[in-house]
Amino acid sequence: MVCQQRRKLENNYTDYERLRKLLQLPENDTKEPDWLYLKIERYVTKIIQTIDSAVAEEWPPYFCLVEILKEVPEAADLSTFSTWRTNLHNFEEKYGTISLIRNHPVVPPNLSGNALLSRNARHYGLKKLFLLKIRNCN
């Protein structure tokens, strides 16, 4: 939605410029207007906070982040993702590697009896998948 909104604003502005030139209207201000820029960083931060606070175990919030970062790579604070990498590494070191089968995290067998650790493993598995996807985008 955020990406679509940004493209829509850019298309509207491009169309405005085209019509202004076609109608030979004077150029009062050549800089792009403020409304053209969305505060995408704010949305990215909010999605990241939601993922971390809710211990998201489903793909949609991560997918939303991937799509935003494809369109606007500079929108993310990369220190957050390095923290995710560090936490993932520590979790896998302590409890075992989280495998991904067909883009779904597989809980290590030694955690299958513990509901909280299984939940965390799925959460970290999705973070692992997300980190792999953004690394492939760049």
Q: How far is CA 23 from CA 9, 18, 26, 31, 80, in A?
A: 21, 9, 9, 19, 48
Note the pTM of the prediction, 2 decimals.
0.71
Q: What is the pLDDT of residues 96-132, one digit of tens each?
A: 999 999 989 998 899 888 999 999 999 999 999 999 9
| Same domain, yes or no: 94 and 114 | yes
| Same domain, yes or no: 54 and 114 | yes
| Same domain, yes or no: 45 and 30 | no
| Same domain, yes or no: 60 and 124 | yes
pLDDT value, residue 32: 62
pLDDT of 86 higher than 90: yes
Element (H, E) at 129: helix 115-137
Percent of the chain with pLDDT over 90: 30
pLDDT value, residue 24: 80
Element (H, E) at 115: helix 115-137
| Same domain, yes or no: 95 and 29 | no
Number of domain units in the chain? 2
Domain limits at 29?
1-38
Q: What is the pLDDT of residues 53-82, one digit of tens each?
A: 988 888 899 998 888 888 777 777 677 888
The Cα–Cα gap between 47 and 9 comes to: 22
pLDDT value, residue 87: 94
Bigger pLDDT: 59 or 38? 59
Strands (E), the chain: 99-101, 104-106
pLDDT value, residue 136: 72
